[in-house]
Every structure is written in structure tokens, then in C-alpha cells.
Amino acid sequence: MYLNLVELAESFGVSEKVVDDWIRDEELPYVQDRGRLLFDRARVAHWAAEHGLTARAGFLASENGAFTTGLELAPMLRAGGIWRDVPSSGVIEALERVIASLSSIPQPVRALLAQRLHAKGGINWAPIGGGFALPHFSTRVTLGRNAGVIALLLLRDALPLAEPAADGAPVTRLFFFIPPSPRAHLDTLARLSKAITQGPLRGMVERSTSDEELFRAFAAADVSGGAERSM
């Protein structure tokens, strides 16, 4: 049984752009048929199990809900912070400051991460449309148990990207993340994408809501996600 791109994205509760990223970065298996992407249900289920993901709805639904890592986004956002009025030319510098602030991470590791920020192709900017992007390191980087980080950057001007979002919207809002574990990488990407495309968080970010209100919105999303996992 094969699923198309829309069906697969809906099954995982993520955007089609996230599925495209999984194909490119995580070797999600697919076949092409007359220009369409098709996904074999059995192969996708095996891939998802290897990556610590289960589907939340549709053809791939299971009793365990969407995500399996027990990840909480709100503490990760508090660790990375909310950065306002950042010029597009200062994004890398802001990300360096985020990494430098991670006092629980050994200095040599922080120095290595800062170097990777400047490496060619070191960041996958992952625009998802609507002016949002989910940048993360192109090579798999994790921080260790309970040490994941998310930083929200609200830009003063649009970020120039070699591969802009499919909708052409200028990217001015970034959720940069480093997950705590390899298994949590896809979970973080999917949870952020879901939080932005569903629920009130998108509008709150667009209105530049206060830091505390955004922290509370993330905490509410964590509670909602936990309820889904327990169903």
C-alpha cells in the first residue's frame, strides 16, 4: 500500500516541507511515479520505528500517539531564549551567543559547534513557509540528556536563502534548535513544525507576543503533546 505526500504529512502531523527534509536528510524511503512521490507503508513504518517516531493519524496511526521521546519544548526554549530585532546579517552571531550561553556544555564542545556555524553548508535553514524556518546543523549534532536547546530569532529584515520556501514568503522568524539526543532530532523538527502550523503559536510569534506568553504557549503545547502520547 502506497501513500502520497499529503497523506504521509497528515499521518505524522507535519508539513509537506518537513517530509521533503526527511527525504533529503534522513533517507526516508520513497518511489517516484509519473512525477509524484509515493511512500510504501511498510517501509515508512520501519523507517519511523528506527527514528523513534510513530504516526498520529491516518494510514500509519498507532495507539501510542505521535512522538515517543517524551520531549518537552518549553525548557528548551527557555535555555535558548527569544532574540528580538536581530538583523539578518547578525543571525550567525546571535546563534554563536546562544551556543556560548550553554554553560552545561563543555567549552570545547561549544567551540566546535561555533565552528560548524561558519562551515559551508553547516546549517540546514529548513524554511517551512509563512515566513518561518527551522534551522539546525546539517550534520547530526546533539547535546546530551536534558540539554536540548531552542532559540527563537525574530528578524529585523528577511534572511536571504539559496533555497527559499515554496510559498516565496520572506523568512523573518527562526526556530533554531539542537536536540538532546539523536532520537529527539526528528521529534523536535516535527513538534516545532506542528506547533507553528497548528494552534495559536504562529499568530503569537507574528504579533511579537511577550516572552512569558510564548513560554506559556510552549508549555501548553507540551501538555497537549503529552495528552496525545497517552491516548
Let me know whether 35 and 133 are in one domain.
Answer: no
Distances (CA, A) of 211 to 46, 152, 192: 39, 10, 17
What is the spatial distance between Cα 110 and Cα 116, in angstroms, rounded to a whole number? 10
The answer to the question of residue 50 being in a domain is yes
On average, the pLDDT of the chain sits at 85
- Residues 108, 176: one domain? yes
43 in a structural domain: yes
Co-location of 107 and 211 in the same domain: yes
- pLDDT tens-digit readout, 46-59: 888 777 675 555 55
* Percent with pLDDT over 90 in the chain: 43
> Is 65 within a domain?
no
Residue 36 structural domain: 2-60
Give yes or no: residues 21 and 109 share one domain: no
CATH code of 38's domain: 1.10.10.10
pLDDT digits (tens, 9 = 90+) for 186-209: 888 888 988 888 778 899 999 989
In the prediction, which pLDDT does 77 show? 96
- Is the domain of 102 the same as that of 152? yes
Same domain, 32 and 85: no
Lowest-pLDDT choice from 29-38, 128-137, 170-179:
29-38
What CATH number is associated with residue 81? 3.40.930.10
52 and 132, same domain (yes or no): no
Residues 85 and 198 in one domain: yes
188 and 78, same structural domain? yes
Residue 156: pLDDT band by 50, 70, 90 thresholds? very high
What is residue 56's predicted lDDT score, i.e. its pLDDT? 52
Looking at residues 71-87, what average pLDDT do you find? 94
153, part of any domain: yes
User: What are the φ and ψ backbone dihedral angles of 38, each rounded to 5 degrees?
Assistant: -125, 150
* pLDDT at 184 (0 to 100): 84
CA distance 197 to 200: 9
> Would the pLDDT of 67 be above 50?
no
DSSP state of 131: T
**Residue 54 backbone phi and psi in degrees, to 5:** -130, 155
pLDDT at position 64, please?
Answer: 41
The answer, as to whether pTM is greater than 0.85, is no
- Do 117 and 141 lie in one domain? The reply is yes
Q: Could you tell me what percent of the chain has a pLDDT over 70?
A: 88
Report pLDDT digits (tens) over 115-152.
Answer: 999 998 899 999 988 999 999 998 878 888 778 999 99
Rg (CA), the chain: 17
- Could you tell me if 69 and 187 are in contact, meaning their C-beta atoms sit under 8 angstroms apart? yes
Q: 145 and 197 in one domain?
A: yes
Among residues 195, 133, 189, which one has the least CA distance to residue 166? 133
pLDDT for position 46: 83
Between 210 and 163, whose confidence is greater?
210
C-alpha cell of 167? Answer: 510559498
Q: Does residue 47 fall inside a structural domain?
A: yes
Residue at 178 is within a domain: yes
First to last CA, the chain: 26
Q: Are residues 26 and 139 in the same domain?
A: no
Compute the half-sphere exposure of residue 13: CA atoms within 13 Å on the CB side of its CA: 23
**Total count of domains within the chain:** 2
pLDDT of residue 59: 54
CA-angle at 44, arms to 184 and 35, nearest 5°: 115
Is 66 a domain residue? no
